[in-house]
Amino acid sequence: MQDVRSQLQRQRDDIVARLRDFQAGAPDTGTGLEGDDAVRDLGDHVQHHTRREMGFMTRQRLVSRLQRLQAALERIERGVYGVCVECGDAIAPKRLRAIPEAETCVSCQERMERQSRAAA
């Protein structure tokens, strides 16, 4: 279990570092009109906002993964890592090797995805 904990902690630390890098490189006020870098035409404006949106989506994905990794570390501490949060059955070791932060077994994950698609 210590190996899994170390792997999760490394992944968590990597994501935290990436988020810090995003933060350090993002002094953008959102206008696209900063000093000499002012948007000069519509194409530049669209490109600027496209990059900005992609940055937001990337940050959101990183934050979401960070939360899942932290939840997995907390499950290790509580002694329930590898137990499906939906049905209480064991999560297959193969699934945990592929997705160490998984909190559901394959059956429950598939059921939740079907329900999600049906609701949409």
Do residues 27 and 58 share a domain?
Answer: yes
* Cβ atoms of residues 12 and 67 within 8 Å: no
2 in the same domain as 59:
yes
| pTM assigned to the model | 0.74
Domain of residue 92, residue span = 82-120
Calculate what percentage of the chain has a pLDDT beyond 70.
87
pLDDT band at 51 (very low <50, low <70, confident <90, very high): confident
Number of domains forming the structure of the chain: 2
Same domain, 12 and 66: yes
In terms of domains, do 90 and 54 share one?
A: no
Residue 39: pLDDT band (50, 70, 90) is: low
Name the pLDDT band for 67 (thresholds 50, 70, 90): very high
Do 10 and 64 share a domain, yes or no? yes
Q: Do 32 and 72 belong to one domain?
A: yes
Residues 1 and 33 in one domain: yes
